[in-house]
């Protein structure tokens, strides 16, 4: 008489279905040929959600019995509603692995901040609702995640930005792995809060005080402040400048704002040639005299990226100690737009100076305004 229980014990080795990735154990088992039509994948891969080998082996024993039972039910011609349950377990990756895939496919040529931001957003997600197989996330999980971010004190705009990142990672990974589930992080309701902080421009008095202080202290941090004060450049645009982007010997001195190996630009319209006037011209003249680097502001150029966050923290700290208004480094951009409005500068020229995008078809025709025209308007500020 054959002892089938003993035969199964002799032929079944749980460790043969076990593999490890990033410290987490996974169950992997090939679907038998005769029941493969019920599945989206020929191989079942499922996270065991443990770093313990002994716990993983016990989990595998349970899963093998479950799948063998389901396959036998399918062979007997009655799935008893098991097919959908089985299909939902065929996801081959969790969010940690989805992030790796996303960065491998999308991260090439992107600054280090692209990867760090994506990783931070995934860490938020895992901290709130665990690192599960993608097909196991639900819209309820998305709601829990949203509430968790809001409880952390993040502004609604920040929460929406994090969700945009999570959705992009999910969509790409689902497409690559044939996961047809609806993205549970789409169509999430966000309460309209009044938590957005309106950035204020500098008053004329504070702007004058800031520029005078820059002239007096006359160091690299103040050169950076003076540059953005009278050009309206984004801080990252200024921090990432090479001397090859600057021309001080032209009849109209200028700076060319364009992407480079250390930083991208926010939009296509951000690429522009910007005449230098006032404290902006003074700042680059002073920086050039002291320069021994190909970078205009070498202090904030680290490795393969420019450290605009570090510059922002230093500038904002100094501004708060210099003026009483609730302003920041980005307020210079708001001020520039107001200053150009005050002299009745045409909107198209304002947009050209600031690198602001426009939606009109006509604005995309031609080469734009001559630098001499931009210079005339900026001198009037």
Residue 222 has phi, psi (to 5 degrees) of -70, -30
Provide the pLDDT confidence category of residue 370 given band limits of 50, 70 and 90: very high
Domain borders along the chain are: 4-87, 95-177, 204-379
What letter does residue 24 receive in the DSSP assignment?
E
Q: Which helix (H) or strand (E) holds 247?
A: strand 246-247
- Assigned CATH topology for domain 95-177: DNA polymerase; domain 1 (1.10.150)
> pLDDT value at position 253?
97
> pLDDT value at position 288?
96
Strands 43-47 and 246-247: unpaired
For residue range 89-103, what is the model confidence (pLDDT) as tens digits? 444 578 988 999 899
Q: Which helix (H) or strand (E) holds 254?
A: strand 254-257
Statement: residue 76 has pLDDT above 60: yes
Q: Is the pTM of this model over 0.85?
A: no
> pLDDT value at position 41?
66
Least confident of 20-29, 93-102, 341-350: 20-29
For residue range 248-286, what is the model confidence (pLDDT) as tens digits? 999 999 999 998 888 888 788 889 999 999 999 999 999
Superfamily for the 204-379 domain: Intergrase catalytic core (1.10.443.10)
Provide the pLDDT confidence category of residue 171 given band limits of 50, 70 and 90: very high
> pLDDT value at position 64?
85
Per-residue CA distances from 246 to 130, 222, 286, 307, 354 (Å): 49, 18, 13, 20, 17
Can you tell me whether residue 216 is helix, strand or coil?
helix
């Amino acid at each position: 008489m054959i002892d089938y229980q003993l035969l199964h014990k002799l032929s079944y080795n749980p460790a043969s279905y076990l593999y490890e990735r990033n410290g987490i154990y996974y169950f992997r088992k090939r679907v038998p040929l005769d029941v493969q039509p019920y599945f989206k994948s020929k191989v079942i891969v499922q996270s065991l959600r443990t770093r313990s080998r002994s716990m993983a082996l016990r989990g595998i024993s349970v899963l093998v019995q479950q799948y063998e039972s389901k396959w036998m039910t399918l062979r007997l011609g009655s799935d008893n509603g098991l097919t959908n349950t089985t299909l939902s377990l065929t996801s081959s990756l969790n969010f940690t692995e989805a992030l790796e895939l996303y960065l491998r496919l999308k991260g090439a040529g992107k600054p280090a901040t692209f990867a760090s931001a994506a990783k931070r957003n995934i860490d938020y997600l895992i901290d709130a609702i665990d690192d599960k197989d993608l097909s196991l996330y639900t819209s309820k999980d998305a709601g829990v995640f949203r509430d968790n971010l809001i409880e952390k004190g993040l502004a609604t705009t920040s929460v929406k930005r994090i969700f945009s990142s999570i959705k992009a990672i999910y969509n790409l990974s689902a497409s690559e792995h044939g996961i047809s589930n609806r993205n549970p992080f789409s169509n999430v309701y966000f309460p309209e809060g009044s938590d957005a902080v309106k950035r204020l421009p500098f008053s004329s008095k504070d702007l004058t005080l800031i520029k005078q202080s820059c002239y007096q202290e006359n160091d690299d941090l103040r050169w950076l402040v003076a540059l953005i004060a009278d050009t309206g450049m984004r801080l990252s645009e200024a921090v990432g400048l090479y001397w090859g982007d600057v021309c001080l010997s032209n009849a109209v001195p200028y700076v060319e704002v364009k992407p480079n190996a250390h930083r991208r630009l926010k939009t296509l319209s951000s690429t522009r040639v910007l005449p230098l006037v006032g404290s902006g011209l003074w700042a680059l003249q002073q920086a050039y005299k002291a320069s021994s680097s190909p970078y205009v502001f070498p202090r904030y150029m680290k490795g393969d990226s420019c450290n605009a966050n570090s510059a922002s923290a230093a500038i904002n700290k100094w501004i708060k100690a210099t003026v009483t208004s609730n302003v920041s480094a980005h307020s210079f951009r708001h001020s520039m737009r107001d200053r150009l409005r005050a002299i009745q500068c045409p909107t198209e020229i304002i947009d050209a100076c600031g690198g602001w995008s426009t939606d009109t078809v006509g604005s995309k025709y031609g080469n734009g305004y001559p630098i001499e025209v931009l210079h005339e308007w900026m001198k009037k500020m």
